[in-house]
Chains A and B, each alone.
Chain A
């Protein structure tokens, strides 16, 4: 393969991501590899990735207010619109990218077999949804504001309100799962999962901003959350000697 054809990806900046072992996040203690990761250039196996079409997206997949609700009903809680732009590290929009989201309900309870929190389930809320970014990399979905919830980490640990995001780019190397937080939530700086991220400016990129311009009057508030996937190392790869 000639170097011009290479679609190599930038290495992950491991100082920007949380380390595998973040002792204050207890679950990471026994689940963190202790050997260094083996650093290698991406190959075709990582530079390719699955393609998702509009055919997998159902009409209500991007509407968590209604996609699990009985006919004529809707999920309880403050109605929200979440939207943003998906780009890569060089600022190129990532179109047709599958974004999957999941979250607790307006009482802080998940619909999951292992969930034990005493807060009630909402019979009209499932908690999952998905959408594709448009041709310009923009996405949008509707949901309800999730509540904070307690979790068995320390004696009094609470998660800030959050929405889990799973992102596909064009390459398996770009695969990413992260969480979106809400501007102004006082629980954000107290959270061991958030604080596993070593840099405050990195945490800041996971905090969605209230977006009054996108709010729907008398209907729902809007939150803006932009996301960035790994970018290509084109310059590096074009200049490297063949076979490096």
Chain B
């Protein structure tokens, strides 16, 4: 294929306010087309690992909660293995799909992720990354899906060694990627699209 068009990625466009129709139809009230919404269950009773929940909201530049976002999640299993064909270090937990999709509630903007604490996976040079969940955020007003990561504030040793966190300047912004322990197994992670507490977003 020498087609010139193949040199460019298709340009991104906003997911718009009605992204739920295509991505979470049952959640948006469209019943009977898909048996269940894609990504609505990350774990089952047999998934190995420590159960954790992460709840939070996304805030805009006026500190108003975003009520129409969808967040996609991708993470390793408890042993640090991805359920993916490119995973060459072992076989991931068959009861863990690694991928999830949650929406901000239409009324409060709150999202909730029920998953397991991921294991550590290597950086390209072999150093270990700290446990993290990759996030991809789409919504009305977001022209290109935003990539960020959820790290866990109670993993201070691993976080101190993490090459991605190490590349963040100024250092105070590292905190924007740390989910804070709330109750047993429960974490809080708010995302700020703009402003003084703007979350670190990646071009990765």
Residues of chain A touching chain B, judged by Cβ–Cβ distance below 8 Å, are: 1, 5-8, 11-14, 16-20, 22, 25-35, 37-51, 56, 58, 60-61, 67-68, 87-92, 98, 100-102, 110-115, 126-130, 164, 166-167, 170-173, 175-179, 193-194, 196-197, 202-203, 205-206, 226-231, 242-244
Contact = CB atoms under 8 A, between A and B. Distances in A.
Q: In terms of DSSP, what is the predominant structure of the interface of chain A?
A: loop
B33 A68 contact: yes
B87 to A, nearest CB: 6
B89 to A, nearest CB: 9
B134 A45 contact: yes
Interface in B47-89: 60-62, 64, 66, 68, 72, 74-76, 82-88
Contact of A38 (B23, B76, B87, B201): B201
A110 B16 CA distance: 12
A150 to B, nearest CB: 13
Interface string B84-124: 11111000000001110000001000000000000001111
Given A128-B25, A171-B86, A11 B142 contact: no
Contacts of B33: 58, 60-61, 67-68, 126, 128-129
Interface stretch (B7-15, B152-160, B181-189): B7-15
Nearest to A114: B17
A49 B85 CA distance: 8
Contacts of A176: 9-10, 12, 145
Q: In terms of DSSP, what is the predominant structure of the interface of chain B?
A: loop
Contacts of B138: 177
A34 B199 CA distance: 10
Interface of B: 1-3, 5-23, 25, 28-30, 32-35, 38, 60-62, 64, 66, 68, 72, 74-76, 82-88, 97-99, 106, 121-126, 129, 132, 134, 136, 138-147, 149, 164, 167-168, 173, 193-194, 198-204
29 contacts: A1-B125, A16-B11, A20-B142, A25-B143, A27-B141, A34-B198, A40-B204, A43-B121, A45-B121, A45-B132, A48-B82, A61-B33, A88-B6, A112-B18, A112-B21, A114-B18, A126-B30, A127-B22, A128-B30, A164-B13, A164-B15, A164-B19, A164-B22, A166-B23, A175-B136, A175-B145, A177-B138, A196-B13, A228-B5
